[in-house]
Amino acid sequence: MSENARINPCDIIRKKRFGGELSEKEIHAFVQGVVDGSFADYQISALLMAICIQGMTDRETLALTLEMARSGDMLDLSGIPGVKADKHSTGGVGDTTSLILVPLVACCGVKMAKMSGRGLGFTGGTLDKLESIPGMRVDLSIEAFEAQVNRIGCAIIGQTAELAPADKVLYALRDVTATVDCLPLVVSSILSKKMAAGCDVVVLDVKTGSGAIMDTPEKSRLLAETMVRIGNLSGKRFSALITDMDQPLGNYIGNALEVEEAIDVLAGRTRGALRDVSLQLGAHILRNAGVVESVEAGVCLLEEKIDSGEGLRRFAQMIEAQGGDPLVTQDTSRLPKAKAKIELKAGSNGYLAAIRTADVGNAAKLLGAGRERKTDEIDPSVGIVMHKRVGDQVSRGDVLATLHVGERSDKIGAYNLLQSALLLSDTPVKAPALVHAVVE
């Protein structure tokens, strides 16, 4: 009889149902039962709902996070000299910061060992963006991943099948039991993968607004504070920025389009919100890693890496190391291009008052840039380019956005959804803040 078999799942469920604090032994038994199948799906679901209703203490949340991290492979990056860092975003639209900050931070001497995921729903996935680069591979072995980080300072790959396997089971059940937004379960899901990935410093980008999982600053702050607190209790260095998602972060939405915008930022051709948030996140990594004394100094150092061209060259090195075409960094026409373009024009004079960001992301998904299920095939060439941002003055006939469409795109559905997502006002509107708060 296994150690876990001595703990009755019903006893754990009953204890949490009545608001009790689970012990480390009980949480260990629960996670092991999830992984080895000794806990039935209906028992796991019952406990998830009890946790959702009763909550968890910090001690419980930390124990759950660590047990989930230990449920599979734990990467040991100690053989790579220097500080190893990672960044995680809770997901948004036009959120291409990883492609910018990873090579820039690596230029400053911090090793960026990043594992990312694919897009699901209206949020874009870093792996899908990278795979729009001809030949680019994201399925490196752990040995190749570590060797590349050691050699050029950075790599972005997909999460291995054995990284926090308990999370895959729990997330699938959370998705069908209305417990996706339960705070301790969100925290343990995100942090378990980051802790298993073996980095010393992690900076979190917690989105807030109409295109975010947490749609209000209050919800986003609570999530950020909890993740930073639990993350720091694990012995690693965590910080979080709460950033705006009441409009797309970048102006390009879609896989190859977002790679193109990232290249334009690294080449110094494009400024704006995407660049600013990327620099802020990267600067916090540099500060937490001890490279600079302040975030302001970190921003200046990263700007130097853009101005010198070093950041763009490092991105080209990373692409080439992972089998991709490094010449895309010099000629973005080598990226996949859509078959046709459709312009969405303003029907009246006024000011762009609001953007329903989730609808913009869903419009891009209708074009083929995103997926509803993990098995769905995406078109890397399609997407949307936004020409106006909240607060901009517009005249009748101005192009608000351009849809890049393919043969399988739902052009009419995407056009109508995008049109309804852009709201005009007769009076001036103030642009939303870009960074709402910093949580240390």
Residues with a catalytic annotation lie at: 88, 167, 174, 189, 193
Residues 6+ positions from 144 with CB-CB distance below 8 Å: none
Residues 6+ positions from 173 with CB-CB distance below 8 Å: 41, 44, 45, 48, 179
Are 319 and 325 in contact, with CB atoms under 8 Å apart? yes
Tokens of 261: 């915008």
Are 108 and 291 in contact, with CB atoms under 8 Å apart? yes
Q: What are phi and psi of 105, to 5 degrees?
A: -65, -40
Beta bridge partners of 405: 340
Tokens of 183: 């705070």
Length of the chain as a residue count: 440
Amino acid at 147: A
Are 421 and 366 in contact, with CB atoms under 8 Å apart? no
- Nearest in space to 438 (alpha carbons), one of 248, 230, 225: 225
Tokens of 303: 């700007």
Alpha helices in 213-338 (DSSP H): 217-233, 255-266, 273-288, 295-307, 310-321
> Can you state the angle between helices 58-69 and 165-176, rounded to 10 degrees?
120
Are 239 and 87 in contact, with CB atoms under 8 Å apart? no
Q: What are phi and psi of 203, to 5 degrees?
A: -115, 130
Are 280 and 286 in contact, with CB atoms under 8 Å apart? no
Q: What are phi and psi of 377, to 5 degrees?
A: -90, 135
> Can you state the angle between helices 41-54 and 9-17, rounded to 10 degrees?
20
Question: What gap in Å lies between CA 299 and CA 393, rounded to an integer?
Answer: 30
Question: What gap in Å lies between CA 114 and CA 111, rounded to an integer?
Answer: 9
> Can you state the angle between helices 310-321 and 142-152, rounded to 10 degrees?
150
Question: What gap in Å lies between CA 75 and CA 197, rounded to an integer?
Answer: 5
Residues 6+ positions from 429 with CB-CB distance below 8 Å: 351, 352, 353, 354, 390, 391
